[in-house]
Amino acid sequence: METLSTTKAHGGTQYVYRHDSTMTATPMTFSVFVPEHEEGAKLPVLWYLSGLTCTHANVTEKGEYRAACAEHGIIFVAPDTSPRGDGVPDDAEGAYDFGLGAGFYVNATEEPWSANYRMRAYIEDELPAQIATHLPVADLTRQSITGHSMGGHGALTIALRNPDRFRSVSAFAPIVSPMNCPWGEKALTGYIGADREAWRPYDACALIADGSRVPEILVDQGEADSFLETQLKPELLREACAEAGIDLTLRMQPGYDHSYYFISSFMAEHVAWHAERLKR
């Protein structure tokens, strides 16, 4: 891994790295906060998946997670949202909700996207192996995952597909059912094709209906979020969890929107919630 920057913060170090990805066939940049720790110590990891248009930099600069991660001794990893670079295909009209910055954490099967848009494999397999090799990470079962919007969709689906890998999962304003919203229908059609059955591994509510389980989920959702009714639809996750017996804590936050003002307001609570489960 190539180190792009190191910055001291809250007693630990904020890193930005770049490496050549086999899964995406591009260089990939990501950030990692490593709290102060004793030599030889192995630390648990909290993954954060960002939303549409974002890179690793959005949460790194605005997420306000470092103090909480330093307090609880947790490494915080923030990947990019899609492959980038020369030759990587993008939406022909430059739309923000497809192509660069909008990888939707899927393994694309449709051309021309399938050559690079393999964010599922990158997040589930390749980047964890890189982190474990180069950083003071505990074993792969002492990890948790969270995310925002499209990244909340990624966090939920990845946790549901890999229940033995993640001790806990939470989300901020997640897209809970891409099969039932315009963002998701556009992305899944473009990346996966028209067969809606092939979309089900990338829809949290469908995964739950098909038998995937996690013990509990924490979700914060702003009531003033402009995407609440058309794109996010948290009631669908509430219904799916109730039917499956999954303990869902869905906190509707009055006055909060979809921005990092909202995310940063509740980030420390999410870190503490994950820390409790990582230490069990």
Q: Mark whether 195 is an active-site residue.
A: no
List, in sequence order, every residue forming a beta bridge with 6; answer none if it has no partner. Answer: 15
> 72, 153, 258, 274: which is the annotated catalytic residue?
258
Q: What is the DSSP string of 175-206?
A: ---GGGSHHHHHHHHHHH-S-GGGGGGG-HHH
Residues near 273 by beta carbon (within 8 Å), at least 6 away in sequence: 168, 170, 218
Single-letter amino acid, residue 143 = Q
Q: Mark whether 258 is an active-site residue.
A: yes
Q: Is 239 exposed, middle or buried (0-12, 13-18, 19+ CB in 10 A)?
A: middle
Question: CA-CA distance, 157 to 154, in Å (whole number)?
Answer: 5
> 97, 203, 220, 225: which is the annotated catalytic residue?
225
Start-to-end C-alpha separation, the chain: 31
In the chain, at which residue ranges do the beta strands (DSSP E only) sit?
A: 2-9, 12-20, 27-34, 45-49, 75-78, 143-147, 166-172, 216-222, 247-253
Q: Mark whether 5 is an active-site residue.
A: no
Single-letter amino acid, residue 172 = F
> 149, 168, 170, 177: which is the annotated catalytic residue?
149
Closest CA to 69 of 9, 6, 140, 139: 9
Among all residues, which ones are annotated catalytic?
149, 225, 258
